[in-house]
Structure 1
Amino acid sequence: MTAPPETTEVRDSRSILREPSFVRLWIGTTASGLATWALPFVLGLAVLERELSAVGLGVVLATRTAGFLLAVPVAGVLADRHSRRSVVLWSGLAAAAAAPVIALGLAVSSLPLMAVAAALAGAGQGACRPAFQALVAEVVDGERRQQANAAMSLAVRVITLTAPALTALLATVLNTDALLIGIGLTWLCAALIPPKGRYTPAATGPKVPFVRQFTEGLQEAKRHPWFLAGLGALTAVIATGYSATGVALPLLSRDKYDTEVVLAASLTAYTVGALVGALLIARWRPRAQGWTALAALACYGFAPLSLLLPVHPAVVVAAYAVAGLGIELFNVPWFTATQREVEPSKLARVSSLDFLFSYGLAPVGLALIAPAIDAFGVTAVLGACAAVCFLAPAAAALVPSTRNFSRTRSKP
């Protein structure tokens, strides 16, 4: 009795990349991910070339983050009020226009001009995220969304793994201005290539104030206890585990192991682990999908734990591979469940909350961990980070509806 569904699942997983509408969406999201990743890397090259100071780099990246955080909740409302495709278009065009302005600011040594353009680029990046998430639910049917989300994640991880070498190679024949123009062209692809979706905004009536529409998104999120619990766990893990990776790993790679190889190998292992996780979850359907995802998320705790213990560098690298594997085994079911469970007319708003509270607040953890290490010592801080990474998903799993990330499927 179970053979036909399994056969269908295999057939669907093979055909998802043959559907033109999904391929266009996949190319658009991949292009946005590449452009998002490339900007800080290219600006870092400008610092190496002494075209931009380290302080200037910090200002530009900070304004980009500010633009992202401001745009995400606004875009969530706009993407539910209007066509998701139009939000992707205008956000991509805004980011595309910002790239040559950043290049101009770099050429004339105008940090204020670069900062304003970076804020616009961050706003475009933030605005497209909830719209892209909602578009997946429009373009892909429910049975294949997990494969679709896995394909999206796989593309992001491939970019993370290969783009540094590719960008460094391009930098040998192109100057920074040309690379920034290339980022703009990549954003143009992200704006123009994605397909139209099936979502039709509600019929026009009395204009609902923006704040009320945003509040409706909060209320929709509250209807799903599994979402609030999972988002709390994800936010806690990223704020602590990601911060340990960003600050403590470079320090310990230098001071404890006396080599930068540990840093490079650990980050590469994390990406490879995430690649494996995306490939695995494209087909795997665990019985208690939510609990499995939360257990996988808790695996991030092995990263700060490995930095805390007196272990061989290979153990640190292995711990980061496990963390990467776990984060994708969480991400893909998490996105799929959100697309399945949330009311379609409020999906972009709920997705915007996801990005705002999880990845959007990650810089707060990065800003706090260095002073915490100075105040309490690296051992105490890493121990606290590991404990949070293990305990936050475990606490989330106590919410009954997290078993399958569904209010209606929580029974064994």
Structure 2
Amino acid sequence: MTSSADAPSTPSKSPRRPAWAGRNYTLLATSAFITALGANGALIASAFAVLESGGDGGDVGLVAAARTLFLVIFLLVGGAVADRLPRHHVMVAANALNFFSQGAFALLVLMGDPQLWQMMVLSALGGMGQAFFSPAAEGMLMASVTGEQASRAFALFRMAMSGAAVAGAALGGALVAAFGPGWVLAVDAAAFAVAGALRCFLDVSHIAPREPGGGLLSDMRDGWREFVSRPWLWGIVAQFSVVVAVVGAAEAVFGPLVARDELGGAGPWGFALGAFGVGTILGGLLMMRWKPKRLLFAATLSVFSLALPSAALAVPVPLPALVAVMFVSGVTIEIFGVSWITALHQEIPEEKLSRVSAYDWFGSVAMVPIATALAGPAESAFGRSASLWGCAALVVVATTAVLFVPDVRRLRRRESTPITGDPAAGRADVVGVVDSVMGAEIGAAATRDATPPR
């Protein structure tokens, strides 16, 4: 169990930022914002790089699938490694891998005539880097804040990422049009280099050295036991394995088709996606002030709204109605996201955060390639409208099912001691809460709950 030596970095005494925004939190938020800007632009650039090299939509899908496949394959290993080694070392190493893979991708495109297999290999390396980075980053973020302001810190962090996603996509599209995809990929590589350099300055002096375990497989099994011992945790991850998959298929496959045939093309669809992004930013602002007592109950109720975009596309509704639906979905997904990461921070032992995060990520993304691959055959077999109604129904069914898990309905926010001049004080209070909950619930073979990355 975590000791007082595992306290987060000393809170900032600067009057220009709140006490909970300490050095580590500030460095993590700044570096994540930089990479999110680059990555969201690079998503557009990589697709156009494939198309400009003579590829088609299927080739774009292959390059994207290579990244997702390696992300899924290495996620659990990445989580175990992040709990065995200093997390900031894992993060910097992953950033270095992404810098070299994205830099090589950019060089190939700028030199002209990149081959499909080359782009797939480099995309796969990028997915591998993300698989090691994401669990380490999530564990580091949750260890960087404490006290009753933790949910506010997570809300601000997610709001910054949402803003970076909106700005990065818009900026990336403009830069691709002006300078070509190769230069945008080069900018993304540079963003990884800058972010990795910033993460080298993370203060880990307060974190006790990791005790050597029984090996990587043993650590992965230990993470699995931690995961399955909590019905709320595996229940919501199972729910999101369905929700993320069908929402992803609806927005990645069916959405552009509906936009082309019914809404006037890519411009209106981009506007609707932008409304979702704006909603996530306002949702983050809401969660900086609202602290629902029953964390997971409020979070789960908010997920029902994710059925609305699929239903709206199934009708299909006029563009203003679709924009409103996407906006509402953006707001509510932030209610879920902030509540979820707050509950994880509250309930999971610090030394196991990355392993649990890896199982969360794995469950959330594992079915996405399957769902997107089946979207086309489903449209052929049942029709586009029926397939979209099916996506909406699956969101409702999966979300309703998880409400039958008692811990999802009952788990409550535990207020901890506000941060003072001694950063160990707040963390010690959280540790005491986790100890008491573990003793009561694991001893009875039950447990508890509560972020994407989502």
Q: TM-score, normalised by structure 2?
A: 0.81
Look up the equivalent residue of 2:356 and give its one-letter code. Answer: V
Provide Cα deviations, 1:69-106, integer angstroms capped at 9, x if missing partner. Answer: 22211110000111111110111111111112112333
Look up the equivalent residue of 2:96 and give its one-letter code. Answer: L
Check the 8 A contact 1:91/1:127 in 2, yes or no.
yes
1:386 matches 2:392: yes
Which has the larger displacement, 369-378 or 81-90?
A: 369-378
Aligned residue in 1 for 2:89: 86
Aligned-residue offset at 1:124: 1.0
Aligned-residue offset at 1:38: 2.8
Taking the aligned partners of 2:225 and 2:289, their CA distance within structure 1 comes to 33
Check the 8 A contact 1:13/1:283 in 2, yes or no.
no
Correspondent of 1:346 among 352, 363, 367: 352
Which has the larger displacement, 288-297 or 397-406?
A: 397-406
1:294 matches 2:296: no
Q: Is the alpha carbon distance of 1:181 and 1:310 closer, same or farther for their aligned partners in structure 2, counting shifts above 3 Å?
A: closer
Q: Secondary structure of the residue that 2:290 maps to in structure 1? A: coil
Taking the aligned partners of 2:365 and 2:231, their CA distance within structure 1 comes to 20
Aligned-residue offset at 1:67: 2.2
Aligned residue in 1 for 2:280: 274
Aligned-residue offset at 1:352: 0.6
Provide Cα deviations, 1:1-29, integer angstroms capped at 9, x if missing partner. Answer: xxxxxxxxxxx996157533211010122
Q: Is the alpha carbon distance of 1:286 and 1:199 closer, same or farther for their aligned partners in structure 2, counting shifts above 3 Å?
A: same
Aligned-residue offset at 1:201: 4.4
Correspondent of 1:116 among 121, 124, 139: 121
Aligned residue in 2 for 1:193: 198
Aligned residue in 2 for 1:139: 144
Taking the aligned partners of 1:85 and 1:153, their CA distance within structure 2 comes to 20
Look up the equivalent residue of 1:193 and give its one-letter code. Answer: L
Provide Cα deviations, 1:292-326, integer angstroms capped at 9, x if missing partner. Answer: 11011111011112222354332222111111111
Aligned residue in 1 for 2:210: 202
Aligned residue in 2 for 1:40: 43
Correspondent of 1:337 among 333, 343, 352: 343
Q: Secondary structure of the residue that 2:293 maps to in structure 1? A: coil
Which has the larger displacement, 120-129 or 36-45?
A: 36-45
Check the 8 A contact 1:262/1:317 in 2, yes or no.
no
Aligned residue in 2 for 1:241: 247
Q: Which has the higher contact order (CA 8 A, sep 6+)?
A: 2
Taking the aligned partners of 2:181 and 2:264, their CA distance within structure 1 comes to 32
Which has the larger displacement, 61-70 or 84-93?
A: 61-70
Q: Is the alpha carbon distance of 1:16 and 1:133 closer, same or farther for their aligned partners in structure 2, counting shifts above 3 Å?
A: farther
Structure 1 gaps of 5+ residues are 1-11
Which has the larger displacement, 294-303 or 35-44?
A: 35-44
Q: Secondary structure of the residue that 1:283 maps to in structure 2? A: coil
The count of residues paired between Structure 1 and Structure 2 equals: 397
Check the 8 A contact 1:81/1:201 in 2, yes or no.
no
Taking the aligned partners of 1:212 and 1:189, their CA distance within structure 2 comes to 35
Check the 8 A contact 1:95/1:120 in 2, yes or no.
yes
Look up the equivalent residue of 1:83 and give its one-letter code. Answer: P
Structure 2 gaps of 5+ residues are 1-14, 413-436, 442-446, 449-454
Q: Secondary structure of the residue that 1:367 maps to in structure 2? A: helix
Check the 8 A contact 2:95/2:192 in 1, yes or no.
yes
Aligned residue in 2 for 1:105: 108
Q: Secondary structure of the residue that 2:361 maps to in structure 1? A: helix
Taking the aligned partners of 2:293 and 2:328, their CA distance within structure 1 comes to 21
Provide Cα deviations, 1:364-408, integer angstroms capped at 9, x if missing partner. Answer: 211112211111122322222111212212211211111354667
Taking the aligned partners of 1:282 and 1:306, their CA distance within structure 2 comes to 29
Query: How is 1:50-89 mapped onto 2 (pairs within 5 angstroms)?
Result: 50-51=52-53, 53-54=55-56, 56-89=59-92
Taking the aligned partners of 1:253 and 1:33, their CA distance within structure 2 comes to 26
Q: Work out the percentage of aligned pairs sharing the same amino acid.
A: 27
Taking the aligned partners of 2:131 and 2:174, their CA distance within structure 1 comes to 28
Q: Secondary structure of the residue that 2:18 maps to in structure 1? A: helix
Aligned residue in 2 for 1:148: 153
Taking the aligned partners of 1:321 and 1:173, their CA distance within structure 2 comes to 29
Q: Is the alpha carbon distance of 1:311 and 1:66 closer, same or farther for their aligned partners in structure 2, counting shifts above 3 Å?
A: closer
Aligned residue in 1 for 2:430: none
Aligned-residue offset at 1:63: 1.8
1:26 matches 2:29: yes
Q: Is the alpha carbon distance of 1:133 and 1:312 closer, same or farther for their aligned partners in structure 2, counting shifts above 3 Å?
A: same
Check the 8 A contact 2:253/2:372 in 1, yes or no.
yes
Taking the aligned partners of 1:333 and 1:113, their CA distance within structure 2 comes to 40
Aligned-residue offset at 1:149: 1.6
Taking the aligned partners of 1:214 and 1:339, their CA distance within structure 2 comes to 20
Taking the aligned partners of 1:192 and 1:219, their CA distance within structure 2 comes to 35
Which has the larger displacement, 288-297 or 36-45?
A: 36-45
Query: How is 1:1-12 mapped onto 2 (pairs within 5 angstroms)?
Result: none
Taking the aligned partners of 1:120 and 1:196, their CA distance within structure 2 comes to 28
Taking the aligned partners of 1:61 and 1:13, their CA distance within structure 2 comes to 41
Aligned-residue offset at 1:68: 1.5
Aligned residue in 2 for 1:163: 168
Taking the aligned partners of 2:228 and 2:147, their CA distance within structure 1 comes to 23
Aligned residue in 2 for 1:375: 381
Taking the aligned partners of 1:18 and 1:196, their CA distance within structure 2 comes to 14
1:314 matches 2:314: no
Check the 8 A contact 1:16/1:22 in 2, yes or no.
no
Look up the equivalent residue of 2:66 and give its one-letter code. Answer: T
Aligned-residue offset at 1:285: 0.8
* CA root-mean-square deviation: 2.6
Aligned residue in 2 for 1:228: 234
Taking the aligned partners of 1:61 and 1:341, their CA distance within structure 2 comes to 34
Check the 8 A contact 2:47/2:60 in 1, yes or no.
yes
Which has the larger displacement, 100-109 or 276-285?
A: 100-109
Look up the equivalent residue of 1:146 and give its one-letter code. Answer: S
Correspondent of 1:126 among 131, 135, 138: 131
Check the 8 A contact 2:79/2:136 in 1, yes or no.
yes
